[in-house]
Amino acid sequence: MPIGEGASHSATPQATPAAEFPPIAALRSDFIWGVSTSSFQIEGATREDGRGPSVWDTYGWAGQTTSKDTGDVACDHYHRYREDIAVMQRLGIQAYRFSVAWPRVLPQGRGQPNELGLAFYDRLIDAVLAAGIEPWLCLFHWDLPQALDDLGGWTTRDIVAWFADYAALVASRYGDRVKRFATFNEPSIFTLFGYGFGGGKRDTTGVESLHRAIHHVNLAHGAAVDAVRARVAGSSMGAIHNYQPCIPSTPADGEAAVRGDLYWNRAYPDPQCLGVYPEMLQAAIEPHMQAGDLERIQRPIDWFGLNHYSPVFMKADAAARLGFTFGDRPPGTPLTPINWPILPDAFRDTLLTVAKDYRLPVYVMENGLGGYDKPDESGAIADDNRIAFLRAYIGAMNAAAAGGADIRGYFVWSLLDNFEWDAGYRVRFGLTYVDYATQARTPKASFHWYCDLIKAARGRT
């Protein structure tokens, strides 16, 4: 493993030159290399052209993000998308994953569509295609229309029909040009942080609101799969899950880790791909279940989208609503600058697990490193730590493929530095540096490395 063992917090492995590539021989010759972004994190223009507010606008405007940042301007991608597509072209990616902002196309979340918002994604998709890049469209990356949150958000079963109508609108509008659709990004994260851990805005009924939300998101997934399939010839569909090993912090935390795994990893893929809730969740979901629901959820999909950064360490906490919370990592665990463990073997193991358990081709839809990148005096961004991270993780993916996992593509998070949710603009995940004062985009060293890797990978015979 090229990552320095026991490295400190700003682990920057020195062992190998930046240009060295990981082994990729086990990856398919038609493997897809891409990057991912999401609407709220890059678009800005939150009050423009008829867009309605989302829950993330509400948090930001009320000063509820730790950073106090809002998404009002973000990367100004709404106006600069052509420049950003030129950046993608320069990077040489084959596929671009983005999300549609539900409140941009349906300001109230339902009812009257917003033609100006719909037209933005027409322009975006047309320009992505003209650049020779395949658009991958995610329907939901956390920017729930505020108007729907006011009506109960994911805790009301009505949202299943609202989401299906939204999916139908998007599919009918773009399905002539977009074939790859994901329903949800990381359902367990927005439900756990919104309803599960406490403090979320709509957690008034405690953990019951989480169980309702889990079931309604699963139903909305199934309904959206049907809505897209019925409208898009040749569609290829999946959902995107953050699947991370849940490791007990101490030997006494085994049960906490099992419960963590249940909510963090399995509450969505199990019913969606296998048609059953994990046994330990069944009693909690039962009160919200209607006849036929599991069939409604388990609609045929084409692939499993995996987001993975690191494992999570869990510990028991009797005071926590779900009985578990985040625990310490073993001393000496290599960490990224934002203190996420660097453990590529866990990525390899996760790929093998999801490929075996869910029996679908896997696309890695997010992987990358967050840091506090800064240009040096010459203006260059020497993010060797990100290169080392990508090298180690892509190498681990190759090992999983060699071990039999059917992996079809890999998307780096992210094309650009962007609004990193609660952490705002300070934390940077981009291959491209964004100077938020000028909105100038500067490719980092990792950009050039990934560009060269894609060339080398695609040049294989």
Which residues in this chain contact ligand FCB in the complex, by CB under 6 A? 38, 41, 185-186, 189, 242, 307, 366, 413, 420-421, 429
111: left (phi over 0), alpha (psi -120 to 50) or beta: left
CB of 429 to ligand FCB, least distance (A): 5
Q: How far apart are CA 422 and CA 440, in angstroms?
A: 23
In the numeric block, the tokens 């939204």 are attached to 166
CB of 288 to ligand FCB, least distance (A): 25
Active site residues: 186, 366
Is the CB of 41 or the CB of 265 nearer to ligand FCB? Answer: 41
**Which residue has its beta carbon closest to ligand FCB?**
186
Q: 97 has which bridge partners?
A: 36, 136
CB of 370 to ligand FCB, least distance (A): 6
CB of 67 to ligand FCB, least distance (A): 13
Question: 391, 386, 437: which is closest to 414 by C-alpha?
Answer: 386
Question: 431, 461, 456: which is closest to 91 by C-alpha?
Answer: 431
What b/e readout covers 43-80, taking b as 16+ CB neighbours within 10 angstroms?
A: bbbbeeeebbbbbbbebbeeeebebebbbebbbbbbeb
CB of 452 to ligand FCB, least distance (A): 24
Q: How far apart are CA 163 and CA 228, in angstroms?
A: 11
Phi, psi of 175 (to 5 degrees): -65, -15
Reduced to 3 states (helix: H, G, I; strand: E, B; else coil), residue 18 is coil
Is the CB of 138 or the CB of 170 nearer to ligand FCB? Answer: 138
- What H or E segment, with its residue span, contains residue 337? none
Reduced to 3 states (helix: H, G, I; strand: E, B; else coil), residue 202 is coil
- What H or E segment, with its residue span, contains residue 230? helix 207-231
Q: How far apart are CA 200 and CA 213, in angstroms?
A: 12
Cβ neighbours for 137, distance < 8 A, ≥ 6 positions apart: 97, 98, 99, 100, 125, 170, 174, 178, 180, 181, 182
CB of 111 to ligand FCB, least distance (A): 28
Handedness of CA 216, 221, 225, 227 (dihedral sign): positive
Reduced to 3 states (helix: H, G, I; strand: E, B; else coil), residue 262 is helix
CB of 411 to ligand FCB, least distance (A): 11
Is the CB of 60 or the CB of 113 nearer to ligand FCB? Answer: 60
Handedness of CA 219, 221, 227, 229 (dihedral sign): negative
- What H or E segment, with its residue span, contains residue 148? helix 146-149
CB of 40 to ligand FCB, least distance (A): 9
- Asked if 135 and 178 touch (Cβ cutoff 8 Å), the reply is yes
Is the CB of 84 or the CB of 420 nearer to ligand FCB? Answer: 420
Is the CB of 114 or the CB of 191 nearer to ligand FCB? Answer: 191
